[in-house]
Structure 1
Amino acid sequence: MSRIRAVVTDIEGTTTPISFVHEVLFPYARARLAEFVAKRGDDAEVAAALAEARALGGVPDASRDETVALLLSWIDEDRKAGPLKFLQGLIWRQGYEDGVLNGPVYADAAAMLKRWRDRGLRLFVYSSGSEEAQRLIFGYSDQGDLTPLFENYFDTRTGGKLDAASYEAIARAAKLAAGEMLFLSDHAGEIEAALKAGMHCVRIDRELSLNVWHAEGAAPVAGSFDAVEEQLAPGA
């Protein structure tokens, strides 16, 4: 992997436990959504998001309560809807700022991202969570503020994570050849898409031992960022 000049990392299941999003963040926003809309529904940015949600849901004349019900149904469905993600981000930001929320990041991921950045590798994030949510997890992480490590953040506005074109777009945005970038994710479908775009890939499997590295198949599988480092380090 001596040609690697940049690393693109997923979040859920890769740098952060999947359980944090589904067992902490989603319930936190769900429990506070109605109160948040009642208090801030007339704010320009919130009103615009609510209008966008009604349009997206095909109910442009829905009441505020009906719009909240629509958004709650999307949370339950884990729907990747832009206006929902925006509103969730606003609610989460308040939770982070109040010290109620704290983004868990695997210690090996935080340490290795710092090492890679010190080595001169460029670092990017690509997650289905909004850019705002990405910045919050890393900015208020239990490993400290990690946001200075990353050059840019990509979310589904770039494209679907199962589409090769999304990874091609990230490479263009970074002004790098796809073959100069390493993508890390726990999701086999995302790995397949990034491989089609020409990126190097490693699938992270957190159920494996930390030092495990399997080279079988189209992309290697690693138990941690430490195992990736053994292959990525100069001279490896």
Structure 2
Amino acid sequence: MPHIRVILTDIEGTTSSISFVKDVLFPFARKRLPAFVETHNDKPQVQHWLHEAAKEAGFIEASRQEVIELLQRWIDEDRKSTALKALQGMIWKEGYEEGEYRAHMYPEVAARLRAWRNQGLSLYVYSSGSVPAQQLFFGYSEAGDLTPLFSGYFDTQTGPKREKASYERIAAAIDEEPARVLFLSDVIEELDAARDAGFQTGWLIRGPQALPVGPRHPVYRDFDTIEP
């Protein structure tokens, strides 16, 4: 296989536990959402994403309360809505800055990211969370500020994570041959799409989960077992 020059990583289930997002970040955003909308409704960026959420839901006209209830339902459903992710990121920013939480990192992740960077690899993130939310996540991590390690971030504005075209856009954006990019994720449908775009792939299966027989992608228990 061609030599790897870039590592593109998912977040949930890959660098960090799914439970942190599900059990900490989502409930925090859900609880804070009504007050956040009421106190920030005059900000153009908030107005834009509220409008985009209403449009996505097919509302011709909607009250502020209806949009709030819609967004809370989408949080419960873990809907991959760009508008929702943008608003969640703004709310999470307040939580990080207030010291309500720090983003979970698996124990080996920070050291391995630093080692890869020192080896000359370029590091990027591709997550369904908005780019600002990703930057907050790595900026306020349990392992400290990891943002200097990354060369860039991609979210669903690039495209859905289970579509080949999204990875083709990323390769074009970073001006790299797809075969020299290693994409890491715990979701096999994302890995399939990345492989179809020509990327190399790594399937993170952490914890006590049984390893699959004859997996479609190289399988790793943690970042320490990956040798790009």
Into which bin does the TM-score normalised by the smaller protein fall? over 0.9
Name the Cα RMSD after superposition: 1.9
Alpha-carbon offset, residue 215 of structure 1: 9.8
- Deviation, 1:208, is 5.0
User: Which deviates further from its counterpart, 130-139 or 78-87?
Assistant: 78-87
Aligned residue in 1 for 2:226: 228
User: Per-residue deviation at 1:72?
Assistant: 1.1
Cα displacement (A) at 1:59: 1.8
Alignment of 1:105-184 (within 5 A): 105-184=105-184
Distance 2:175 2:61 in 1: 44
- CA gap of 1:222–1:190, structure 2 versus 1, over 3 A, is same
What displacement does 1:214 show? 8.7
Q: Deviations over 1:185-229 (max 9, x none)?
A: 1111111111111111110111259xxx99943321010000113
CA contact (8 A) 1:85 1:130 kept: yes
1:217 to 210, 215, 218: 215
Q: In 2, distance between residues paired with 1:28 and 1:137?
A: 14
**Structure 2 residue identity aligned to 1:44:** P
Which 10-residue stretch deviates more, 33-42 or 1-10? 1-10
Q: Which residue number in structure 1 is paired with residue 78 of structure 2?
A: 78
The TM-score, its normalising length taken from structure 1, stands at 0.91
Give the C-alpha shift of residue 122 in structure 1: 0.5
Aligned partners of 2:129 and 2:156 also within 8 Å? yes
- Map 1:190-201 onto structure 2 (within 5 A): 190-201=190-201
SS at match of 2:59: coil
Tell me which stretches of 4 or more aligned residues in structure 1 moved more than 2 Å: 213-218
Q: 1:179 touches 1:199 (CA, 8 Å); kept in 2?
A: yes
Q: Which stretches in structure 2 are left out of the alignment for 5+ residues?
A: none
| 2:95 paired residue number | 95
Identity of aligned residues (%): 50
In structure 1, the gaps of 5 or more residues are none
**Which stretch shifts more, 132-141 or 217-226?**
217-226
CA drift of 1:148 comes to 0.6
Supply the distance in 2 between the matched residues of 1:80 and 1:177 (Cα, whole angstroms).
28
Map Cα deviations across residues 154-202 of structure 1 (whole Å, 9 max, x no partner): 1111111111111111111111111111111111111111111111111
Count of residues paired in the alignment = 228
Secondary structure class of the residue paired with 1:107 = coil
SS at match of 1:176: coil
- Residues in 2 aligned to 1:187 and 1:62: alpha-carbon distance in whole angstroms: 35
Q: Deviations over 1:116-173 (max 9, x none)?
A: 0001000000111111111111000000100010101011111111111111111111
Structure 1 window deviating more from structure 2 (9-18 vs 167-176): it is: 167-176
CA distance in 1, matches of 2:28, 2:186: 24
Q: Secondary structure at the match of 1:217?
A: coil
Check conservation: 1:92, 1:101, Cα contact below 8 A. no
Give me the TM-score of the superposition, normalised by structure 2: 0.94
Q: CA deviation at 1:107?
A: 2.2
C-alpha distance in 1 between matches for 2:214 and 2:65: 52
Contact 2:2/2:180 (<8 A) preserved: no
Residues 60-71 of structure 1 correspond to what in structure 2 (within 5 A)? 60-71=60-71
What letter corresponds to residue 154 of structure 2 in structure 1?
A: F
SS at match of 1:184: strand
